[in-house]
Structure 1
C-alpha cells in the first residue's frame, strides 16, 4: 500500500471530523495506528516507509523518553467537534454493573424504528434477554444481558455511534 504525505494529511483530517478514538490500518508492508487521548504503547517495529509520488514519510520506533508533549494543537484538531461529556458516575452506595459495547458500531434500542425499545430505564431484565442491538458492517448484533437486574441508566441515544468498550447502560443486579 502506497500512502503519500498528502493522503496521510487527508486521512488525519477526516479522522478529526469523527468520534473515533482509535484507527488501525494494516497491510503486509506496514501497520499504522492512530489514537486520540488515553495511553500510548510503543511496540518494537522496523522502520516503515510510506512512499508515494513526490513525498516519502519514514516512521520508526521512538522511545517513550524521547517523545515531547505537543505544544499546540494542529489546525485540523481545532476544527474537530467537541468530545461528549463523560457519563455521570453512579452513586457510591449502589453496586451497578456496566453494559459495554463489544465492538464499534451503531447502537439501536429497538429491533426496528417503529417497534418499542428492548428495555427502558426502570425495567427488570433477565439473564440472556436482548437489551439492544449494535450494527457493525450491516450486521445486527444483539447484546444479551449477562446478569438479571434493573436498568438504572441508558447512556447512549438511539442510532448513535458507539466505540468498543463504551458504557451503554448501567444495571443494578438482583
Structure 2
C-alpha cells in the first residue's frame, strides 16, 4: 500500500462520518479513528513487520504517511466523473469476443451503455447519465472496483 492510497483512505474515512476503520493487508495494519464532534481526526498508523525486519526499517513508514500534502491543481476538474454504483468487477466489453462499449474519444449520449460491473454473478450495465465525449478510462478491464470509484472522465461540451 503506497502513500497515495493511504491518503485517499484517510480522506474517504474523514468524509464518511465513520468513527473507526481498521484495514489489514499482508503485514501492514492501519487503524483510522475520527472524532464525531467535527474536530480534527485522530489518526493512528501501525505497521507490523515480519520478525526478520528490525524496528528501524519499519519505523520510517508511519511518519512519512502523516506528512502534510500540498493541494494539487486538478486539470480534470472541468470533466464529469462517472463512478461505479456498486462493488464488483469492471468489464469494458459485453463478452470476451466483442468490442469494447466505449473507447477514449467516443461520443456518448444519455442512456448509452459504458461498461458492465459484475457483482455476485449478475452483470449490471452501467449507463451514461450525461452526453459528452469519453476523455479518460480510469479502470483496467477485468479489475475489481469499489462503490463510488471513478470509472470514466467525460467532457460534457
TM range (shorter): 0.5 to 0.7
Q: Distance in 2 between matches of 1:149 and 1:70?
A: 43
1:63 shift after superposition? 8.7
Task: Provide closer, same or farther for how the CA distance between residues 63 and 160 of structure 1 changes in structure 2, counting only shifts above 3 A.
Answer: closer
Matches within 5 A, 1:37-116: 37=10, 38-39=13-14, 41-42=18-19, 64=35, 69-70=43-44, 72-75=46-49, 91=75, 95-116=78-99
1:74 shift after superposition? 2.9
- In the alignment, structure 1 segments of 5+ residues that lack a partner are 1-15, 22-35, 44-61, 79-87
Contact 1:90-1:96 within 8 A present in 2 as well:
no
1:173 shift after superposition? 0.8
> Any idea what the Cα deviations from partners look like across 1:110-149, whole Å, max 9, x if unmatched?
1001110000000001110000000001000000000110
Q: Distance in 1 between matches of 2:88 and 2:122?
A: 10
Matched, 1:133 2:116: yes
TM-score (norm 2): 0.59
Aligned residue-pair number = 111
1:96 shift after superposition? 0.7
TM-score (norm 1): 0.54
- In the alignment, structure 2 segments of 5+ residues that lack a partner are 21-32, 51-57, 59-71
1:162 shift after superposition? 0.3
> Any idea what the Cα deviations from partners look like across 1:152-171, whole Å, max 9, x if unmatched?
00010000000001000000
